[in-house]
A = this chain, B = another copy of it.
């Protein structure tokens, strides 16, 4: 079922390559756009539109704008995070250089607005661009918070949840909100769509935190413990710092403030402490709360139940890591 939205999106993308000049500017754009990925955000936009209007192809320019924006943010974030790989391939700044990654990213952000304006929704286009602006700004704010947290020792759980909301959730939520607006949904339905996406996004990120430490490497498809090695202040770590004894906190802080020498030993020790504090279950419960909230908003939409089936299946797939 999801496959048909994916194919429609990929066909549209293939028909709209970046073929401008100079090629040094646009070749990296095509490279990152063709690296693949689940196309989660564009598929959400198409499904969100289809709730209210069966002709979801009309939302393809919106879906493309959102995916271009998402990839712009990946190109720039990868420079900031000095990440060598993205989807198993060289990042743009590694394959070319940071200057190219900056400028190709910039032009992607501009193109996102171009495709947004291709959307056939004359009465709501200004409103949609405003939502896009708000979301885009918030994604930058989330990335800045994430960078700020690296050097802060006093990050609270509400701050962490706000950071992942901005960095990850608002674009998922915004994709659905803009799709609803474009399809002519009511204000109430647009709000439910947004809240559905926002809570799905937070649940998804919490799940990501859990899997990075407690996941099955084969099922997750990557090495376990990366967050621990990088001293990332995930929900798991922040929760342990909150509920652990003074001695637990001292141990955790000492590990986090010491450069990693023996990664396997560090992962084992931190994981063992988290297990003693039952952190996996606590995080799982928190994730479940956001997930339940998400589905409540989905149920509250004033559309026939069968219209919600695709979004429901997608969200379940995403949060069960089958997608």
Partner-B contacts on A (CB < 8 A): 20-22, 24-25, 76, 79-80, 98-99, 102-103, 105-107, 109-111, 113-114, 117, 122, 125-126, 129-130, 133, 136-137, 140-141, 143-145, 147-148
Contacts and interface: CB of A to CB of B under 8 A. Distances in A.
Given A80-B99, A102-B79, A21 B141 contact: yes
A169 B111 CA distance: 20
Give the top 3 A-B pairs by smallest Cβ distance, nearest first: A25-B144, A80-B99, A107-B140
A140 B98 contact: no
Contacts of A107: 137, 140-141
Contact of A129 (B25, B79, B105, B129): B129
Contacts of A22: 141, 144-145, 148
A91 to B, nearest CB: 14
Nearest to A101: B102
A129 B145 CA distance: 30
30 contacts: A20-B137, A20-B141, A22-B144, A22-B148, A24-B148, A25-B140, A76-B102, A76-B103, A79-B98, A80-B99, A80-B103, A98-B98, A102-B102, A103-B144, A105-B106, A106-B106, A107-B140, A109-B109, A109-B110, A110-B137, A110-B140, A111-B133, A111-B137, A113-B133, A114-B130, A114-B133, A117-B130, A117-B133, A126-B126, A129-B129
